[in-house]
Amino acid sequence: MDANRPLRVGITCYPSVGGSGILASALGEELARRGHEVHFISYGRPFRLPDAPRIFFHPVEINDYELFKYPDYTLPLSVKMAEVSRECGLDLLHVHYAVPHATAAVLARAMLGGDRPRVVTTLHGTDTTLLGRDAGYGPAIRYALDQSDAVTTVSAFLERETRRLLDVRRPIEVIPNFFQPRAPRRSREEVRRELGVGDECLLLHSSNLRPLKRIDLLLESVARVRPPASFRLVILAGGDFAPFLKDVRRLGLEDRLAVREQVTEIEDYLQAADLGLFTSDMESFCLSILEAMCFGCPSVATAVGGVPEVVEDGVSGILVPPGDAGALARAVEGVIADPGRRAALGAAARVRAAALFSADRVVGRYEDLYRRCLSAPVSR
């Protein structure tokens, strides 16, 4: 095929707040900026997906038939994938998460026949580390991966876990997450005034609040930071924070905490923050840490999963054992008390983000992968 021809790419992801959907949206935006035509196929418009030239959204309609105990998404998604592929001449379907997206893409390709569209599956974590252990899902995930034309993971950790848990023998390419920040709409000073922050250190946590993010541990850790007046915590919540309000009151954090839900202008808060805090039990990559790094904001984080691939411990951030509120609090205290060290960690974080995880460095790898898939003979 013509190596310079713009591609027509279908992307399917979960549209709710989460690293996989945010990465997929950013990838689509960058591909469109490079001249490709990008078609998002999902039950909702992805979070943070902009209105931009060469980006299209095709909603999947889900019917709640009485015949089914639970509404089915896989089959309507596969039909819509086939329809968009046929009508728009898609070269590839790039799906984020194996279940149900890769399963639907493989079925859509079978409906169409021929060797188009090719299927690229990107694993982000839960489809391997959680569903891969489930006997009701593991065989379907393994089959979808075997039938994909290419499989990628966002970290070397996840590549190893995929092979271990699913006994996958096929090639898997590690292509990390990236972040291309937009210009903040408000100044650092404006955002800090909004949050009631003066000279205190502004701690930042951003996540979808799922159980693996350990918000209980986050709150317990900051409650131990001394002196209490040395910081204020802002949580950018991709879910309902109400279930945690009891813990906030119990720990006496009402005056130390600000919560902002469903934030789309995340850059405003990233540039205002001084230190990130992430307490997850498991992460395949942790895009939120990278987002902070791009603004020279280092993080204290648990050393789990792929996080050590993102943060160089002691150089661009601080890593501590998982589940240890005391160790997390002490690490935060140390960084707050030493502005010079905080500045050095932040500068190194910004350099590392640009060197390893920029759009310029990562998006081209997806383009190369797409063209290799399209040029390779069909082996299924």
Q: How far apart are CA 182 and CA 232, in angstroms?
A: 25
Domain of residue 193, residue span: 188-356
From the centroid of its chain, how far is CA 345?
A: 23
Q: How far apart are CA 64 and CA 78, in angstroms?
A: 17
CATH number of the domain at 365, please: 3.40.50.2000
Q: Is residue 293 part of a domain?
A: yes
What is the maximum alpha-carbon separation in the chain?
66
* pTM > 0.85: yes
Question: Please, what is the end-to-end C-alpha distance for the chain in angstroms?
Answer: 20
Are 217 and 339 part of one and the same domain? yes
| Angle ∠(303,46,362) on CA atoms, nearest 5 | 55
In DSSP terms, which residues pair with 275 in a beta bridge?
Answer: 203
Q: Is residue 1 part of a domain?
A: no
Whether the CB-CB separation of 205 and 297 falls below 8 Å is answered with: no
Are 175 and 199 part of one and the same domain? no
Task: Please choose, from the candidates 142, 178, 177, the residue with its C-alpha nearest in 3D space to the C-alpha of residue 162.
Answer: 142
Q: Is residue 211 part of a domain?
A: yes
Are 165 and 283 part of one and the same domain? no
Are 91 and 193 part of one and the same domain? no
Q: Is residue 125 part of a domain?
A: yes
Enumerate residues 6+ apart whose C-beta is below 8 A from 75. 104, 107
Q: How far apart are CA 83 and CA 369, in angstroms?
A: 24
Q: Is residue 155 part of a domain?
A: yes
- Digitized pLDDT (tens) for each residue of the chain, 380 residues in all: 567 899 999 999 988 767 788 999 999 999 999 999 999 999 999 877 888 999 999 999 987 766 666 678 899 999 999 999 999 999 999 999 888 899 999 999 999 987 789 999 999 987 776 655 666 677 888 899 999 999 999 999 999 999 998 888 999 999 999 999 999 999 999 999 999 999 999 999 999 999 999 999 999 999 999 999 999 999 999 889 999 999 999 999 999 999 999 888 899 999 999 999 999 999 999 999 999 999 999 999 999 999 999 999 999 999 999 999 999 999 999 999 999 999 999 999 999 999 999 999 999 999 999 999 999 887 55
Helix (H) or strand (E) holding 128, with range, is: helix 126-129
Total structural domains in the chain? 2
Q: Dig out the tokens for 251 from the structure.
A: 């720990």
Are 18 and 141 part of one and the same domain? yes
Q: Is residue 3 part of a domain?
A: no
Are 220 and 237 part of one and the same domain? yes
Q: How far apart are CA 377 and CA 130, in angstroms?
A: 33
How far from 326 is each of 220, 225, 233, CA to CA, in Å? 9, 9, 17
Q: Is residue 28 part of a domain?
A: yes
